[in-house]
Amino acid sequence: MRRLTLLLLFLTISSLKAQDQYSMGMQKAMELWSEQKIVEASNMFERIATAEMDNWLPYYYVAMVNTTASFGEKDEQKLKMQLKKAKEYIDNAKNISPDNAEILVQEAMINTAWMAFDGATYGMTLSGKNVQLYQKAAELAPNNPRVVFGKAEWDMGTARYFGKDTTPYCKDIERALQLFATFKPETEFHPNWGKERAEQIAEECKS
Amino acid sequence: MKNQITFSLLFLMACVSSAQLTVNGIVTDKSNVPVVGANVYLEGTYDGSSTDDNGKFSFETSETGTQTLIISMLSYEPHYEIGDVSYLQNLNIRLLEAVNSLTGVTLTAGTFEAGDNSKVSVLKPLDIVTTAGAAGDFVAALQTLPGTSTVNEDGRLFVRGGDAGETQVFIDGLRVFQPFNATANNIPTRGRFSPFLFKGITFSTGGYSAEYGQALSSVLLLNTTDVPDQEKTDISIMSVGGGIGHTEIWGDESLSFNTQYINLAPYESLIPSNQGIRWNSPYESISGEAVFRSKGEKGIFKLYTGFNHADLDIEQENINFEEFVRFELTNNNLYFNSSYKHFFANDWTLTSGASLSWDTNEIGLFENTIDIKETGSHLKLKLKKTFSNRFNLQFGTELFNIDFEETFRTPDGMQFKSAYDDQLLAGFVESDVFFSNKFAMKLGARVDNTSVLNQFNFSPRVSLAYQSSENGQFSFAYGDFYQNPQSNILRYDQNLNVEKTSHYILNYQYVANGKTFRAEAYHKAYDGLVKYNTEMPQFDSQFNNLGNGYASGLDIFWRDNKSIKDFDYWASYSYLNTKRDFRNFRERATPNFAPKHNISIVTKKWVNKLRSQIGLSYSYVSGRPYDNPNTAEFLAEKTKAFNNLSFNWAYLIDQQKILYFSVNNVLGFNNVNNYQYANVPNVDGVFERQTIRPAADSFFFVGFFWTISKDKKSNQLDNL
């Protein structure tokens, strides 16, 4: 009996320990990221990803850290390698968690980064892909604020490119804002970004 | 109780404090420069850190026993240290540079690509279709690249002193037997395929891979799209006809088709082409293409099929006849191409495929009729193993079968038949070796055995590339290439040998910041070219393989799409020095299809205010040789230079409707293609001549393109 208790205790402690390590690790990585220590943050998420093979979140964040860092990156080689890495990790996340709208939105972000870098080369092949990604994400999670916002921002960008009016999409931004207001992430590490940017765009809509 | 406490204590110790060990060391590259920001960690644990500004790392771990330490960093090969944790101290780790397709050296000698890998691509996907003067014909867009000669009245690809028959076209690695529409003499043809079914185009002007054979000069490789992006319907209404296309997707399967009806009659009745010709019934065709794709977990299957039915009836001026000469043509072409690619777990890839074509031409010339039937098939099997990103190996085998038959009938019932049958069996092996990011080699060989000539040939191919600076690289390529004589000869004589060329290519390429510069010098040696002793090859001609020749030249390409906002341009210059003794030549001379200088300038400007893309292309071709029988010299005179300025304008009415307008030869240059001399001299002993000019100097095109799709965004800009 005692042995069994001990065994149980041991199992609980070690799983608590793992849980704890995961939270600590994720927290630390988020901190590094917020301090703009891009490489360290990406490395940390990468380490967590290799230790937590069944959890899509660290993979998702490796992709996200590298994608956001590449917007405005001037060094062409660095940018290409970052985006290649982001794609590799988002593909891994997709394998762990298929049909996940958050992952599809992130994948679309990677494509957007390629197009922002060189529209003439990547626009033709990737814009169609993004349309599909947002469509599928909207089918999977029609009330996810990032899906609604991501799609609206993408539509606005396309309209702008073709010299069209962007105001019809402002109501989608408004809707995204309402969804952001009530959105509760599953855990503290689940994606919970985008609200500030949506507010910013909503401001632009009003002006 | 005591026991229990001891146990708990032990347990806690093991669990929490368990003798922390330090793992530390330094990471450098091969020249001892510290690597900053490398990720260093024990596999499967949370223990690790990033290297600091001095390449140093240090972290504590409670792991014990044998562990794997991983050091990873972008653009370096990952490094593994396996050992007991207690030994993982004061490590001195040297990372090897990863061989990287994005920044490293690439094997480019002789090759142009259109695609989105910007390191090797000189053209972007859109360029194929937005080049002024190309009018949606991707072959015409390729003619703006150096190494090609513009032969205005033909429309096919003439590469580096080779004639059009020396270029072969492949779809998904399988031969296309009749890549061009059938046409009459002096009326330029177009490629049969619509560009929008293809995701990548590789155009090699020499020194190409051992995977391809039976082409003395050049190969054009087209790859169909793997997975279409979305379902849509395309409708086009043009001044020369109309078309409809649709893409349907079901999960991993998809089908795209498009069908087109072309009739030049309305255009001809408005703006008749009348320089030396009269249309009885202008070119009319109905054509369709379909691609079915099925993507599985481990493989992808594609089936491409195309058909084309075309008719024309024309009368052409001929110096040897008082009246215009009538030429009627009906062409039917059906083509299948299916391929399957399978990815095995251990980096083996298997590609298998088959293509099959039936082509018939019914020709009416004077009172005679000529029936031509050609059936071609190609079977191929290829295996590729990627051992690492530094080394891969591929090998395969293929079988071609060609069955050709021509029946010539005179009005009085006489009938002449000529035919041949060929089975060609070939094998190839090739390997890419990247010694470093700076130095790479492609080494291959090919064997061909052709039944019609009963001959066996071995062709070595090698290509080297050396990166001389961050953005510049040198390449060298050498190869031997064999090709059977064309069907117009083989059908009369099968006791001939194959024709041969050797290519020597030296290339320099500089790519940086939206600018591309390429210069390529080459030499080609021709041997065993077929000669005959009549005006045209015919049943009683005497043939031999005693012909030979050479072509040397310099090709220069420059493109810049960054320096001026929304403005993109490229310029090509080709210098060609070639002489050959072949066909019925009485001595070595420069053939009519090989002008010395070719210049092309292509510009494109996106005007946001007008929601328009405007393009302007200019091409200059120096005079082409022709033979004047009134002089003693052979092929010694030259036509005047060829000039063409073309213009196009794509206007986006809205996101899915485009109005497109283009004019070929805006300035109406009066170009001369050639001169035709009379077969016999006139009473004064002079051979009279007539000028062969394009049927019309300029050509106008207006089209309206409408796309219907769920997202309401895509359009056919990429199809124009």
Tell me: do A50 and A114 sit in the same domain: yes
Is A81 in contact with B102 (Cβ distance < 8 A)? yes
Q: Helix H segments across chain A?
A: 2-34, 38-51, 56-70, 76-96, 101-117, 119-140, 145-161, 170-182, 195-206
Q: Which DSSP string do the residues of B213-269 spell out, in sequence order?
A: -S-SSEEEEEEE-SS-S--EEEEEEETTEEEEEEEEEETTEEEEEEEEEEE-HHHHH
Q: Which residues of B sit within 8 Å Cβ distance of A?
A: 4, 7, 11, 15, 36-37, 39, 41, 43-46, 48-50, 70, 72, 74-75, 100, 102-103, 116, 118, 121, 124-126, 199, 229-230, 513, 561, 568, 608-609, 611, 652, 654-655, 710-711, 713-714, 718
* Domain B111-719: assigned CATH number: 2.40.170.20
Q: Which residues have C-beta within 8 Å of that of residue B615, sequence separation ≥ 6?
A: B130, B131, B132, B602, B603, B604, B605, B647, B648, B649
The dihedrals phi and psi of B603, each to the nearest 5 degrees, come to: -130, 150
Q: Give the count of domains, chain A.
A: 2
**CB atoms B103 and A77 under 8 Å:** yes
Give the span between the Cα atoms of B549 and B634, in whole angstroms.
Answer: 16
Mean local confidence (pLDDT), B389-412: 93
Q: Which amino acid is at B183?
A: T
Cβ-Cβ contacts under 8 Å, A22 against chain B: 46
Taking an 8 Å cut-off on Cβ atoms, the answer to whether A51 and B611 are in contact is: no
Contact status, residue B553 vs residue B575, Cβ threshold 8 Å: yes
Does A120 sit within 8 Å of B568, measured CB to CB? yes
Task: Tell me if A56 is assigned to some domain.
Answer: yes
Closest approach of chain B CAs to the CA of A93, in angstroms? 17
Q: Residue B16: pLDDT band by 50, 70, 90 thresholds? A: very low
The CA dihedral of B593, B595, B599, B602, to the nearest 10 degrees, is -10
The CATH number of residue A93's host domain is 1.25.40.10
Q: A195 to chain B, minimum CA–CA distance in Å?
A: 25
> Based on the domain organization, do A174 and A83 belong to the same domain?
no
User: CB B50 to CB A127 under 8 A?
Assistant: no
Tell me what pLDDT residue B715 has. Answer: 61
Q: In what order do the strands lie in the sheet with B121-123?
A: B121-123, B111-114, B198-204, B218-224, B167-171, B174-176
Helix A145-161 to helix A170-182 angle (10° resolution) is 160
CA distance A154 to chain B (A): 11
Kindly list the residues from chain A whose CB atom is less than 8 angstroms away from the CB atom of residue B569: none
User: Closest Cα of chain A to B140: distance in Å?
Assistant: 21
SS3 B473: strand
Encoded tokens for B225: 């799209």
Percentage of the residues of chain B whose pLDDT score is greater than 70: 92
Measuring CA to CA, how many Å separate B244 from each of A53, B126, B492, B650, B655?
A: 48, 20, 43, 19, 18
Task: List B662's β-bridge partners, or say none.
Answer: B648, B701
Strand pairing class (B674-677; B689-692):
antiparallel
pLDDT per position as a tens digit, B472-491: 889 999 999 999 999 999 99
Listed in sequence order, the residues at least 6 apart from B633 whose beta carbon sits closer than 8 Å to its beta carbon are none
Dihedral sign of CA atoms B111, B112, B113, B118 in order? positive
Distance from CA of A53 to the nearest CA of B (A): 9
Q: Return the pLDDT at B11.
A: 47
**Whether residues A36 and A100 fall in one domain:** yes
Cβ-based contacts of B4 with chain A (< 8 Å) = 2
Mean pLDDT for the stretch of residues B607-616: 85
Contacts of A125 in chain B (CB under 8 A): 116, 125, 199, 229
Per-block mean pLDDT, blocks of 10 residues, chain A (207 long)? 55 54 90 91 93 93 94 83 92 92 95 85 78 90 94 87 82 93 91 91 86
Identify each DSSP E strand in B345-367 by its residue range: 348-365
Residue B417 has pLDDT above 90, yes or no: yes
| Residue whose token pair is 């000039």 | B643
Instruction: Give the span between the Cα atoms of B486 and A112, in whole angstroms.
Output: 50
Residue of A nearest to B15 (CA): A14
Find chain B residues with C-beta within 8 A of A162's C-beta.
611, 652, 654-655
Query: Which of B15, B560, B713, B719 should we substitute to test contact with A (largest number of A Cβ atoms within 10 Å)?
Result: B713
Res A57: pLDDT: 95
For residue A13, tell me if it sits in a domain.
no
Contact yes or no for B291/B255 (Cβ under 8 A) = yes
**Residue A184 counted as domain residue:** yes
Q: Per the CB < 8 Å rule, is B229 touching A129?
A: yes
Domain spanning B2-94: CATH superfamily:
Carboxypeptidase-like, regulatory domain (2.60.40.1120)
A184-188, B230-234, B429-433: segment of lowest average pLDDT? B230-234
Report the DSSP beta bridge partners of residue B288. B259, B307
CATH 2.60.40.1120 in chain B: give the residue spans: 2-94
| pLDDT of B1 over the 70 cut | no
Domain carrying residue A55: 19-118
pTM of the model: 0.82
User: What confidence score (pLDDT) does residue B126 get?
Assistant: 63
Cα–Cα distance, B182 to B178 (Å, whole number): 9
Q: Which residues of B touch A76 (CB under 8 A)?
A: 513
Give the nearest chain B residue to A48 (CA atoms). B46
Report how far residue B222's alpha carbon sits from residue B202's, in angstroms, rounded to the nearest whole number.
7
Q: How far is B46 from chain A (nearest CA, A)?
A: 6
Instruction: Choose, out of A121, A154, A160, the residue to mutate when testing the contact with B (most B CBs < 10 Å).
Output: A121
Q: What is the pLDDT of residues B545-593, one digit of tens each?
A: 999 999 999 999 998 878 888 888 999 999 999 999 999 999 999 999 9
Return d(Cα B147, Cα B112) in angstroms, integer.
Answer: 10
* B74:A132 CB<8 A: no
Pairwise CA distance, residues B652 & B717, whole Å: 9
Stretch(es) of chain B classified as CATH 2.40.170.20? 111-719
Q: Which residue has the higher pLDDT, B128 or B535?
A: B535
Residue B344 scores a pLDDT above 80: yes
> Rounded to the nearest 5°, which phi and psi values hold at B309?
-125, 125
Q: How far is A137 from chain B (nearest CA, A)?
A: 14
pLDDT higher than 90, residue B445: yes
Which residues in chain A have Cβ-Cβ distances shorter than 8 Å to B103?
A: 77, 80
CA distance B454 to A92: 54
- Closest by Cα among B264, B289, B183 to B701: B264
Beta strand extents in B296-454 (DSSP E only): 299-316, 325-343, 348-365, 368-388, 391-409, 415-434, 439-450
Query: Rounded to a whole number, what is the distance in Å from the CA of B228 to chain A's nearest CA?
Result: 9
Chain A residues within 8 A of B118 when measuring between CB atoms? 118, 121
Distance from CA of A132 to the nearest CA of B (A): 7
For A154-181, b where at least 16 C-beta lie within 10 A, e where not — what string?
bbbbbbebeebebeebbebbebbbebbe
Q: How many residues does chain A have?
A: 207
CA end-to-end span of chain A: 72
Q: Do B4 and A2 make contact, defined as CB atoms within 8 angstroms? A: yes
Between chains, do B48 and A124 touch, taking CB under 8 Å as contact? Answer: no
Quick check: B3 pLDDT over 70? no
pLDDT, position B375? 96
Is B713's CB within 8 Å of A120's CB?
Answer: no
pLDDT recorded at residue B334: 97
Please tell me the distance in Å from B39's CA to the nearest CA on chain A.
5
B265-300, pLDDT tens digit by residue? Answer: 999 999 888 889 999 999 999 999 999 999 888 899
Considering CB atoms only, which of A2, A43, A128 is closest to B50? A43
Q: A202 vs chain B: nearest CA distance in angstroms?
A: 23
Lowest mean pLDDT among B10-14, B50-54, B233-237: B10-14
User: Are residues B46 and A21, on separate chains, in Cβ contact within 8 Å?
Assistant: yes
Distances, alpha carbon B110 to alpha carbons B104, B209, B462, B506, in Å: 18, 10, 12, 9
Chain B interface test: which of A31, A43, A55, A80 (most B C-beta within 10 Å) = A43
User: How many angstroms separate the CA atoms of B61 and B77, rounded?
Assistant: 25
Query: In this structure, are A101 and A156 located in the same domain?
Result: no
Looking at the fold, whether A107 and A146 belong to one and the same domain comes out as no
Tokens of B574: 């080709």
Among B100, B118, B711, the residue with its CB nearest the CB of A121 is B118
Cβ contact, residue pair B103, A40, below 8 Å: no
Q: Please write the tens of the pLDDT for every residue from B127-173.
A: 766 777 776 677 888 889 999 998 988 989 999 999 999 999 999 99
With H, G, I as helix, E, B as strand and everything else as coil, classify residue B557: strand
DSSP state of B185: T
What is the share, in percent, of chain B residues with pLDDT greater than 90? 58
Strands B174-176 and B198-204, bridge-based pairing = unpaired
Q: How far is it, in rounded angstroms, from Cα B284 to Cα B240?
A: 9
pLDDT beyond 90 at B307: yes
Scanning every residue of chain B, which has its alpha carbon at the shortest distance from the alpha carbon of A158? B713
Helical spans, DSSP H, in B237-386 = 265-270
H or E, element range at B8: helix B2-12
Mean pLDDT over all residues of chain B?
Answer: 88
Q: Compute the count of residue pairs across chains A and B with CB atoms less than 8 Å apart.
A: 96
**Mean pLDDT, range B34-38, rounded to an integer:** 92
Interface of A with B (CB under 8 A): 2, 6, 10, 13-14, 17, 21-22, 25, 39-40, 42-44, 46-48, 50-51, 76-78, 80-82, 84-85, 118, 120-122, 124-125, 127-129, 131-132, 135, 158, 162-164
